[in-house]
Structure 1
Amino acid sequence: MPNTWLTGRFRLDVPLVGAPMAGVGDGRLAAAVSGAGGLGMVGVPPAAPGSWVTEQAAVAASSGRPYGVGLMAWALPANPAQFEAVLAARPDLVSVSFGDYRPYVEPLRRAGITVAVQAGTTDEARAAERAGVDVVVARGGEGGGHGRADVATLPLLQSVLDAVDVPVLAAGGIATARGLAAVLAAGAEGAWVGTAFLGCSETTAPEAARQRVLDAGETGTAYGRVFDVAQRLGWPPEYGGRALRNAFFDRWAGREKELATDETAQAELARARREGDFDTAGIYAGQAVGLVRRQRTAADVVAAFAAADDLLSRFTTPR
């Protein structure tokens, strides 16, 4: 694999970060990705206590390789124990995104932690650079989970690479070695990948949810705020979520104002989440979900991304 800022900074075999996926990606998945030569990340749910962060960071660190933690900036003011636990654990990389991340950048850097921010527009990338982050993640609208859907990955990546001087990772729609090779060729220092790992046995997703992912096609996702509004979560409204389309989403899309006060719908979603009813409960996934066709281990996924090296060699091998 080519040597990039990402591989050099964290001694990686593959320029790949396993994106922090709150609710399905804890320390076990992070350790598996890191152990395979990428950089795994723990996704911290907004209401998780600091003790959970401490426990999962220890699991992620058990691989003996660098790992990271992903925090939601909007959730930290009400749950400062998360940030305190991260500082104490000292992971190699911390992502703080989706809200006012600026107060957290310098404390993390003073602790020797590399800081990333996910940006969905070029202006957000410029703002992150001004705030002093070490690396910007250019996250396109194809990505699963939360973020903006204003710009697709490829045009966003090109613009951000021209706009900032800090290293840039690409996120959104990257699920195979071809995708990794494409963003490396464009100038990214690596890929930030979530959906490709959703079918892995190391996630905390129930088997029924993993099967839904494996069965989904490339047009099987939808973007919006339905699941956040129904759960009364405090996500800033500019950051919707991309998830597998289901009956609950279709029923409420465009009716979010009504949904915000519908207690029956709120209870219905809460019950579905408890019971694993995924016609109602959401499964966050990106547009690359159609490329996730069989259950694999995280090590298998990372190894498959390493084939990007052969694809990139076409640019340097005489014909």
Structure 2
Amino acid sequence: MRTWLTDRFDRTVPLIGAPMAGVGGGRLAAAISRAGALGMIGVAASAPAQWITEQAAVAAGSGLPYGIGLMAWALPGNPEQFDAVLAARPALVSVSFGPYDRYVGPLREAGITVVTQAGTTDEARAAEQAGVDAVVARGGEGGGHGRNDVATLPLLEGVLDAVRIPVLAAGGLATGRGLAAVLAAGAEGAWAGTAFMACQEATVSAAALERILAADETSTAYGRVFDVAQRLGWPPEYGGRALRNAFFDQWEGREEELDDEAVAVLAQARADEDFDLAYIYASQAVGMVRERRPAADVVAGFATAEAFLRRRL
């Protein structure tokens, strides 16, 4: 399965472990890369530069390529994050969700491959014009943050027709079947996060893991409830997909009414790991995450895409 992705980073599986803030640190990134894909570190908006430096050192310890994902909207308020990423020199950096154009040039000048996530075909065209090396077509099925405007397959088809740069597919991909599907459509690889959430190398508590393993494909909901309740500065067009719970149901459609009391309730729930109220971001593929296992096993599952593709030739 040779693609732009495997050739660019000397990988054996055309797969990127998506950057998941709070879940994917240097240990998970290194494990994914050791298994033949390319692992990424997810940087939270409030993460200090020192944390990035420490996690990058862990990922780099494998001696293999890895990536780092940044939130463009958060960088003006925490510019040290970008400096730390430049100093770390990962093979790949994703800058998404906000004005990212200004960061593309410095990253490429440093010899770093740059991608951004696009939730519409117009966003993908803009990414190509901004000079990124590749674009991630992220459908609304995806976990965590992004647009909910277009599903993965129609988005991927539209983006492949619209741009000349390499395209990666994201949103609800968790198995070799999904990877085979997007490769057959013309993508250079898959971008998957939720598939790795239950991995032994992920930073997930026992209480959160229990909820993840019990979830099915209908267990998620998309919206801005959790962002508003945390007073985060996410651009409104980028909501989040998480496991549906009582807090989300209570406040969905009433986000403007989220007061200081509700903010305190969510903060306490996070501290207590009370996931009837606190959030766990996940994609619609969460129902295919059924057991705790090493990241290498998840990558091996994606690698079965080759057999699916051969079977259909």
TM-score (ref. length: structure 2)? 0.99
Which residue does the alignment assign to 1:300?
297
Q: Which amino acid aligns with 1:145?
A: G
Which residue does the alignment assign to 1:246?
245
Identity of aligned residues (%): 74
Which residue does the alignment assign to 2:279?
282
Q: Are 2:300 and 1:315 equivalent residues in the alignment? A: no
Aligned residue for 1:77, secondary structure, equals helix
CA distance in 2: counterparts of 1:214 and 1:73, whole angstroms = 31
Which residue does the alignment assign to 1:273?
270
Please report how far the alpha carbon of residue 211 of structure 1 lies from its aligned counterpart in structure 2 after TM superposition. Answer: 1.3
Aligned residue for 1:188, secondary structure, equals coil
Mean Cα displacement is larger for which, 22-31 or 114-123?
Answer: 22-31
Residue-pair matches, total? 313
Q: Are 2:56 and 1:57 equivalent residues in the alignment? A: yes
Q: Which amino acid aligns with 1:233?
A: L
Q: Which amino acid aligns with 1:42?
A: I
In the TM superposition, 1:1-319 aligns within 5 A as 2-259=1-258, 262-316=259-313
TM-score (ref. length: structure 1)? 0.97
Please report how far the alpha carbon of residue 147 of structure 1 lies from its aligned counterpart in structure 2 after TM superposition. Answer: 0.1
Aligned residue for 1:157, secondary structure, equals helix
Please report how far the alpha carbon of residue 275 of structure 1 lies from its aligned counterpart in structure 2 after TM superposition. Answer: 1.1
CA distance in 2: counterparts of 1:245 and 1:58, whole angstroms = 35
Please report how far the alpha carbon of residue 299 of structure 1 lies from its aligned counterpart in structure 2 after TM superposition. Answer: 0.6
CA distance in 1: counterparts of 2:176 and 2:210, whole angstroms = 23
CA distance in 2: counterparts of 1:66 and 1:154, whole angstroms = 28
Aligned residue for 1:76, secondary structure, equals helix
Q: Cα deviations across residues 118-175 of structure 1 (Å, max 9, x unaligned)?
A: 0000000000000000000000000000000000000000000000000000000100
Aligned residue for 2:178, secondary structure, equals helix
Mean Cα displacement is larger for which, 267-276 or 95-104?
Answer: 267-276
Aligned residue for 1:60, secondary structure, equals helix
Aligned residue for 1:117, secondary structure, equals strand
Q: Which amino acid aligns with 2:285?
A: A
Q: Cα deviations across residues 275-318 of structure 1 (Å, max 9, x unaligned)?
A: 111001000000011111111111110011111110011233xx
Q: Cα deviations across residues 61-80 of structure 1 (Å, max 9, x unaligned)?
A: 11111100000000000100
Aligned residue for 1:95, secondary structure, equals strand
CA distance in 1: counterparts of 2:180 and 2:242, whole angstroms = 25
Aligned residue for 2:95, secondary structure, equals strand
Q: Cα deviations across residues 59-99 of structure 1 (Å, max 9, x unaligned)?
A: 11111111000000000001000000000100000000000
Please report how far the alpha carbon of residue 205 of structure 1 lies from its aligned counterpart in structure 2 after TM superposition. Answer: 1.3
Please report how far the alpha carbon of residue 202 of structure 1 lies from its aligned counterpart in structure 2 after TM superposition. Answer: 1.0
Q: Which amino acid aligns with 2:306?
A: D
CA distance in 2: counterparts of 1:139 and 1:229, whole angstroms = 22
Displacement over 4 Å in runs of 4+ = none
Aligned residue for 1:217, secondary structure, equals coil
CA distance in 1: counterparts of 2:247 and 2:294, whole angstroms = 30
CA RMSD of aligned residues (A): 0.6
CA distance in 2: counterparts of 1:294 and 1:315, whole angstroms = 29
CA distance in 1: counterparts of 2:277 and 2:159, whole angstroms = 37
CA distance in 2: counterparts of 1:126 and 1:304, whole angstroms = 32
Mean Cα displacement is larger for which, 132-141 or 46-55?
Answer: 46-55
Structure 1, unaligned stretches of length 5 or more?
Answer: none
Aligned residue for 2:93, secondary structure, equals strand
Please report how far the alpha carbon of residue 236 of structure 1 lies from its aligned counterpart in structure 2 after TM superposition. Answer: 0.3
